[in-house]
Amino acid sequence: MADNIKSLLTPFSEVTKFHGHTCPGTAIGYRASEIALNKLSSSKAGDEEFIAIVENDSCSVDAIQAVTGCTMGKGNLILRDYGKQTYTFINRKTGDALRISLDQDLNEINPNFKTARIKALASGADEADKKEFEKQKNILTEKILKMLGEELFKIEKVNLQVPDKASIYGSVKCAECGEQVSEHRARVKNGRIVCIPCFGD
C-alpha cells in the first residue's frame, strides 16, 4: 500500500507552483508530508481524513497544505506557533498519530549554506554573492529531498485525542463596531457581546 501512495504523492514541482519558489523549507514540509502519508494513510488521504498540527508558520507549511490537503479553511491544519520544525499528523479514521521533528542542522546538511547566506545578506554583498547563496540553497533543498526520512527527522508514534471536525458556528453582531463575529470568537465586555479587537481596546 505504501508504494501505491508514493506513486500518488504530489510532485515537488506542484509545491513550488503553490508556494512561489523552491526552498529548503518547502523541501522539509514535503518530506514530512510524504512520511505521514506513507505511514498513516490507509488510502489516498481523503479530504478531511487527515489533521496536521504545525509548530511554525514558515515555508514548510505550504508544502504540507499542497501535499496532504490539510488547510486552515477546512479546520484540519492547526497552527501552534512554537517556532519548531515539528509536524504532527493524525489519521482521523484510525486515530494513528505521528510526530515528525526536524533532527538535522541545515548547516550540517550543506556546510556551505551558512557561509553563503552570511555573505549574501551582508551590506556589501554583490551579484556573485547572491548567486552563490541561491546555488547553495538549491543544493541544500536537493539534499533534503533525497535524504533518508529517518535521518532527516525524529519520527515518533504518539497518542493524541482526535480534534473535533470543523464546526459551523453562528454569528453575532459586535455591540461596539457592529461587525459580524463568529459566536465562538465573541467576548463579553461589560455585559455586551463584542469582537476580539473591540474587547482588547
Site string for Zn ion, 24-63 (x = CB under 5 A): -x---------------------------------x----
Q: Within 58-87, which residues bind Zn ion (CB under 5 A)?
A: 59
The residue among 47 and 134 lying less far from Zn ion, judged by its C-beta, is 134
Residue 182, helix vs strand vs coil:
strand
Identity of the residue, 56 or 91, whose beta carbon is nearer to Zn ion in the bound complex = 56
Query: Quick one: three-class SS letters along 37-99?
Result: HHHHCCCCCCCCCEEEEECCCCCHHHHHHHHHCCCCCCCCEEECCCCCCEEEEEECCCCCEEE
Residues 6+ apart with CB under 8 A from 110: 136, 139, 140, 143
Q: Residue 18 has which C-alpha cell?
A: 503553490
Instruction: Choose which of 23, 40, 66, 97 interacts with Zn ion (CB under 5 A).
Output: 23
Report the alpha-carbon distance of residue 138 to residue 24 in Å, rounded.
Answer: 8
Instruction: Pick the piece of the chain touching Zn ion (CB under 5 A) from 71-79, 93-101, 125-133, 189-197.
Output: 189-197
**Residue (48 or 176) nearer to Zn ion, CB:** 176
Query: In the numeric block, which cell numbers belong to residue 84?
Result: 519548531
Q: Does 198 bind Zn ion (CB under 5 A)?
A: yes
| Least Cβ distance, residue 135 to Zn ion (angstroms) | 16
- The CB density around residue 138, as the number of other CB atoms within 10 Å, is 14
CA dist 191 → 45, 158, 174, 185, 195 (Å): 45, 42, 12, 16, 13
Residue (20 or 95) nearer to Zn ion, CB: 20
Choose between 14 and 48: whose C-beta lies nearer to Zn ion.
14
Binding residues among 141-180 for Zn ion as defined by CB under 5 A: 174, 176-177
Give min distance, CB of 100 to Zn ion, in A. Answer: 19
Nearer to Zn ion, 25 or 69 (CB): 25
Question: In the numeric block, which cell numbers belong to residue 91?
Answer: 489519521
Residues engaged in binding Zn ion (CB under 5 A)? 23, 25, 59, 174, 176-177, 195, 198
